[in-house]
Amino acid sequence: MPAAAPAGTNVAIVVSYEISGTASNGVDYQSLPTNSPFPAGQSDAPLTITPIDRGPGQGDKTVIVTLAPGPAYQIGASNSATIVIHGTASAPVASFTASPTSGQAPLAVQFSDTSTGSPVSWNWNFGDGSSTSTTESPSHTYTSAGNFTAMLTVAGMSPACVCTGAASILALICSAKVSASSSIVSGSISANSSPP
């Protein structure tokens, strides 16, 4: 945002401004002083607002810079600017349901993603040594008897929007633990051998 200095000035001046808005100076963006030196003959100068990444879940915040009157300069018609610092979305948290969770092999299971936080990618590991799936809600057939742990990893739009969690499914009840990177949930599937 430029401040107007008197035309043809041949002395350096200091232009003052006030900072307001919902963002905090030095917390949401790199610390700014409340004035800026203008070299002799210069009529405007850039002011750079550099956001500080505070992690997921931060909403949008504003920085309002308003030029303050001073004896050595005049302010033009536009004396303020508003900058919006866009926050990052909440990290995704993986969760899913599976039906059925037990039965005779071969057992066809439908997995349904119920993750929150707007994931954009899915990676399923069915726990039986078969290939994985990147489908949002896949089906999978367990061809042999055994107890298997299915795992879902979800990721958000950007690395700043990624979260890790782990959960166990027991009668379709999930609990999750959240940390940082991608979100993972696992659940148990039992496939029984055919009766003799």
Question: What's the pLDDT at 46?
Answer: 75
- What is the overall mean pLDDT for the chain? 72
CA-to-CA separations, 182 to 83, 108, 166, 178, in angstroms, rounded: 31, 27, 10, 9
What percentage of residues in the chain have a pLDDT greater than 70?
71
Q: Are 164 and 182 in contact (CB under 8 A)?
A: yes
CA-to-CA separations, 20 to 32, 66, 110, 162, in angstroms, rounded: 12, 8, 53, 31
| Model confidence pLDDT, tens digit, residues 146-160 | 888 888 888 876 433
Q: Give yes or no for residue 63 having a pLDDT over 80.
A: yes
Residue 9 confidence class, pLDDT cut points 50, 70, 90: low
What value does the mean pLDDT take over residues 38-66?
A: 77
The region, left, alpha or beta by phi > 0 then psi within -120 to 50, assigned to residue 108 is: beta
| Model confidence pLDDT, tens digit, residues 67-119 | 888 887 777 777 788 888 877 666 788 888 888 888 888 888 899 998 887 78
Pairing type for strands 183-192 and 102-104 reads: parallel
Residue 103, both tokens: 């039965």
Domains of the chain, CATH where assigned? 10-88 (2.60.40.2030), 96-192 (2.60.40.10)
Question: What's the pLDDT at 88?
Answer: 65
| Model confidence pLDDT, tens digit, residues 105-136 | 888 889 999 888 778 889 898 888 988 999 99
Question: What's the pLDDT at 58?
Answer: 72
Q: How far apart (Å, rounded) are the C-alpha atoms in residues 190 and 132?
A: 18
Q: Are 140 and 172 in contact (CB under 8 A)?
A: no
Pairing type for strands 146-155 and 96-99 reads: unpaired
Pairing type for strands 61-67 and 35-38 reads: unpaired
Q: Is the model's pTM score more than 0.85? A: no
For 176-183, the CB contacts below 8 A with 24+ separation are 176/93, 176/94, 176/95, 178/91, 178/93, 180/91, 182/153, 182/154, 182/155, 183/91, 183/92, 183/93, 183/94, 183/115, 183/117, 183/119, 183/153, 183/154, 183/155
Pairing type for strands 121-125 and 146-155 reads: antiparallel
Higher pLDDT pick, 175 / 1: 1
What value does the mean pLDDT take over residues 155-176?
A: 33
Residue 192 confidence class, pLDDT cut points 50, 70, 90: low
Classify burial at 132, counting beta carbons within 10 Å of its beta carbon; exposed 0-12, middle 13-18, buried 19 or more. middle
